[in-house]
Structure 1
């Protein structure tokens, strides 16, 4: 099993308590970590961070997106202090464990960072690395921070790479270099998300959700073709 398992969850997320309890049924030792909500806690230099992200990327991050970055960095700092080479599982309050029997740390331990779910199930694995549904993902095909595990080496790496606030925490192609850190993923995904509560990052209309799903399908087709030749 995992050395430790964390979930980012705040008590005011009342509609998501049932999700956390469902996760705890599969992971009895699940540890709750208080996430950062800029609307509820003071984030030093928040406006400056938003401006800096705009100057670096041409698109300023939302306060909630900065909160997500700070929340995951909070967990990574805890993991980075560990001397173990084992994997630590990280979940969010709307994570949904689809197949608990497949959620075994041994599956991930040959990698530094492992995606148990990514981009709502649209992750693509490089064909040359794929074995029994596990392999190296095409870096452009992995988004989302609702289900991943990593070792202390990867936690230290991510803390370094995200020290300059610029992109959302789940835009991995901006942070993770497969030549510097080993990446793995499982397909179909073992961890997904519940769709019973609204996103805490940005409001999404029905039209926006349908458009996003169409875009994911288009890019999934492209990624599937590219990963076949990798």
Structure 2
């Protein structure tokens, strides 16, 4: 592999052994080509090499300005943290996504998806595709915090609650978040089609704002 990537054997051995190395962007690109990684896996490799910030996980506070922004939006909008905890949402998200029906301990997008019946009703026939997408997206974040007790607890809960999550988690797929379109099934208004996008907060890079716009 070192020869394919055009890098030193000693350096590559140190990397495989988990010893401290400081690869350059050129080295990353060479490794990605040698391993035939796609864009998502290449980005994941870079993130793993950089590592997390070393601090123990804690629930992120949401600045009041972001809360007001979310509440002012007429369509579903919400904020998640690094572990995908649901930190803030508006009335439209409560109505369409049923977030207000979640117990405090269940206010996490993955718990919502895999450990409650709400999401299966919401996504209908598209639930399995959405579930696989979410697992692959979360994997990219999780692996930076894989040894943190809060992340371990969440993953163990999901694996014990859902065979779909357990099976998907064992695939080790990684995806990059992109905007797209979803059809959500409201119990009164029927099928609702939205485009969606997520944005990173300048206040805290762990905070993600998701907004839905009707099509």
TM-score class, shorter: under 0.3
Larger radius of gyration: 2
Higher helix share: 2
